[in-house]
């Protein structure tokens, strides 16, 4: 089916913790890498909200972190919907 093993997508054990610096090609990420990154950012957002609610993080710092995560999420998501 594949001419070489290079064409096979290898399972990445760090899937739930994938960020842009983990992409094989930063300039041309795969849909899998983008999806994994979006899932990671969603998890980071939920964890940050939990930390804020439990008082483990300063409110100002926590809200700034939430804004950064949301901004990164929107930026990464926009890669999937670029005009052609």
pLDDT tens by residue, 22-64: 888 988 888 888 999 999 999 999 999 999 999 999 999 999 9
Take residue 76 and report the two structure tokens written for it.
């990464």
Residue 36 contacts residue 18 (beta carbons within 8 Å): yes
Closest CA to 51 of 63, 39, 67: 63
Q: Is the pLDDT of residue 73 over 90?
A: yes
Q: Is the pLDDT of residue 11 over 70?
A: no
Q: Where along the chain do its domains lie?
A: 33-84
Q: What is the mean pLDDT of residues 14-28?
A: 83
Give the 3-state secondary structure of residue 26. coil
CA 6 – CA 34 distance, rounded (Å): 20
């Amino acid at each position: 089916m594949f001419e070489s093993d290079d064409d096979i997508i290898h399972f990445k054990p760090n899937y739930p913790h994938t960020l842009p610096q983990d992409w094989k090609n930063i300039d041309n990420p795969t849909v899998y890498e983008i999806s994994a990154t979006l899932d990671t950012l969603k998890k980071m957002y939920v964890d940050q909200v939990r930390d804020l609610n439990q008082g483990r993080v300063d409110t100002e710092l926590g809200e700034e972190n939430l804004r950064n995560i949301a901004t990164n999420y929107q930026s990464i998501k926009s890669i999937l919907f670029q005009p052609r």
